[in-house]
Chain A
Amino acid sequence: MRIHCPLCGARDRREFSYKGAALVRPLAAAESEAWHAYVNLRENPAGPLAELWYHEMGCGSWLQVTRDTVNHTVSEVVLARDAALGAGV
């Protein structure tokens, strides 16, 4: 599997480490249910999934990668800072 880093180009999967589903982080004051959902609950789709990968052995960027969990086709990669995951819910 290769991931197309927006800064470095297409790189081998071994350069990246995996965080998991890209979820919008709740506000610090959010209800515990929202935090439970963020920390534990997962849609876990068999199909396209937006997830966070860290280009550990490359540019050090956090990326939001949209990947099909059935066949590993990567359809979109953007820098995580542009994905606005810290906006709060």
Chain B
Amino acid sequence: MRFSGWRVLKEGLTGNRGWGPQWRDPEPKREYDVVIIGGGGHGLATAYYLAAEHGIINIAVLEKGYLGGGNVGRNTTIVRANYYLPGNSEFYSHSLRLWEGLEQELNYNAMMSQRGMINLFHNDGQRDAIVRRGNAIINQGDDAELLDQDAVRRLVPYLNFDNNRFPIMGGLLQRRAGTARHDAVAWGFARGADMRGVDLIQNCEVTGIDVEGGRVTGVQTARGPIRAKKVALAAAGRSSQVAALAGLTLPIESHVLQAFVTEGIKPLVDHVVTFAEGHLYISQSDKGGLVFGSYLDFYSSYAARGNLPMVEHTMETCLAMVPAISKARLLRSWGGIMDMTPDGSPIIDHSPIAGLYLNCGWCYGGFKATPGSGNAYAHLIATDRPHGAAAKFRLDRFSTGHGLMDEEGTGAQHNLH
């Protein structure tokens, strides 16, 4: 079923009775070429690119709950390519280019909105850092523009420019950054994968990973054993538990990151804006709700809800930046489980077990990585060689110390990112 303007018009005139399910609900087969554990954004994107670019269609995506029910449905929907360090820089650049063609490729409205992102700076040191970052972004081939205070004021006049403690000196604008409809990204990849023959199997928890002679042979699931030539992890915050099924211990701690949304208000926040004193990012959804978030709760957690001190902190920071929204009521908040690595950068690599692949450690940056991650992971699984844009996401950088990507410069240690 292809979507088109003509189809929407026709269905609108005929009572919308012609829409069918967008993917099948198949029974698991006994054997697949590739089994992907995790039916979130990254897992579904991986299945899609394996089928679309590598011609591998005998694939099952096994999901414990329902498709897109994890972090791809629990984020602040921001898409950007403004990383500084080699490794991250080329990867997120690659991912943003995929985002830009995603809706045409998937024939699915992901509501990709390149509304621009402004990273504010508030002191000379931050200005230096942001200029340096902007230059790195431009060298990578992406866009960055340095804004002075007047330029920021013209673009985002609703900010608090009279804040003596956190004066807004300027910002870095990336026009190609923006937001996308998070659920639609998962659904678009799911539909695209299903159309190419991938089996998307929900309510199918993996309870064991079979390894014989150092090579993976299949998985045990809540719906019976499934043999597989290759098994690919894409379990985000639950990566440690899934890896433990194969006897692996990962350099990952799971932490909760909260996000918040207000009631719908008239259009106010046209861009994604980040506040660097206290760390806050805010955008406005197409429904009118202000979507924002700040730090991790900063202790290990699998509770998909956050603690109140961080709620308070986030509200305070938000109002320091945009006092105009102090009367807006908070509609809801949620928490996602982040798979945090010591250096804050992800892992797309082989595991020590032949045929078992790792895609984890996305920290709080997994959403914008979705197409890039799926694309690079599919390349690794299909060819057994890393994708050029993700070659530095190696697992062994933690044991060797070579190639650590500590984007924040806080030190490659747990709990510092």
Please report A residues at the B interface, Cβ cutoff 8 Å: 1, 13-14, 18-21, 32-33, 36-37, 39-46, 49, 51, 69-72
> Contact size class for B?
20 to 34
Indicate whether A46 sits within 8 Å of B302 (C-beta atoms), given known contacts A33-B399, A36-B399, A39-B413: yes
- Complex contact A44–B240 (CB within 8 A): yes
Indicate whether A20 sits within 8 Å of B399 (C-beta atoms), given known contacts A44-B250, A49-B300, A72-B301: no
Total residue contacts A-B, CB cutoff 8 A: 67
A42 to B253, CA, bound (A): 6
A19 to B300, CA, bound (A): 10
Mark interface residues in B225-253 (1 if CB within 8 Å of A CB, else 0): 00000000000001011001000011111
A82 to B240, CA, bound (A): 29
- Complex contact A41–B251 (CB within 8 A): yes
Please report B residues at the A interface, Cβ cutoff 8 Å: 238, 240-241, 244, 249-254, 298-303, 307, 309, 342, 398-399, 413-415
- Complex contact B249–A41 (CB within 8 A): yes
The 6 closest A-B pairs by CB, nearest first: A44-B240, A40-B251, A40-B398, A46-B302, A18-B299, A36-B399
Indicate whether A72 sits within 8 Å of B300 (C-beta atoms), given known contacts A33-B399, A40-B251, A44-B252: no
Which A residues are in CB contact (< 8 Å) with B253? Answer: 20-21, 42, 44
- Return the contact of A70 from the options B249, B251, B303, B309 (Cβ within 8 A): B303
- Complex contact B301–A41 (CB within 8 A): no
Provide a sorted-by-A list of 11 A–B residue pairs whose CB atoms are within 8 angstroms: A20-B415, A21-B300, A32-B399, A40-B399, A41-B250, A42-B249, A42-B250, A44-B253, A44-B300, A46-B238, A46-B254
- Complex contact B300–A51 (CB within 8 A): yes
